[in-house]
Amino acid sequence: MGTILIAEARFYPHLNDMLLAGARAAIEKAGHDHETLTVPGALELPGAIALAARSGRFCAFVALGIIIRGETYHFEVVSNESARGLMDLTIQGFAIGNGILTVENEAQAIVRADPAQSDKGGGAAEAALALLRLREQYGS
């Protein structure tokens, strides 16, 4: 069993705590260790994961964050570019679960982040674990 890095964009701490709880529970249930790395926002997640991946210390990654639509186009830029960056890394062979929520308001974020409701943090960890199993099955 290897160590999984949870990279979180901690822009909304009270919401991130729920995502983290779900991700950690799923990783621990699967028998893996985990570490958490915090970055300021979702745009920094792909770069942080790429830098951490170079260390060779992590077998998989979980990206967590919450992007709530505001009044400007910035929501689309952050949502699209963070997703594109993570997808680029995934296509390169990194096992990454994308748990960046893109929502209209805080109420939607709570439902999706809460482990007792939609548990998107746990779902992102399970996605990373699934990709890790595929990589192990088909080689890196």
Supply the residues annotated as catalytic: 74
Of 14, 6, 115, the C-alpha closest to 64 is: 6
Q: Is residue 109 marked as binding? A: no
Q: Is residue 44 marked as binding? A: yes
DSSP codes of every residue in 79-109: HHHHHHHHHHHHHTT--EEEEEEEESSHHHH
The structure tokens 């570490």 sit at: 35
Q: Is residue 27 marked as binding? A: no
Q: Is residue 7 marked as binding? A: no
Q: Is residue 71 marked as binding? A: yes
CA dihedral (79, 123, 24, 46) positive or negative: negative
> Which phi and psi angles does 126 have, rounded to 5°?
-65, -35
Q: Is residue 96 marked as binding? A: no
Q: Is residue 35 marked as binding? A: no
- Bind-site residues for 5-amino-6-(D-ribitylamino)uracil: 11, 42-44, 66-68, 98
- Bind-site residues for (2S)-2-hydroxy-3-oxobutyl phosphate: 71-72, 112
- Bind-site residues: 11, 42-44, 66-68, 71-72, 98, 112
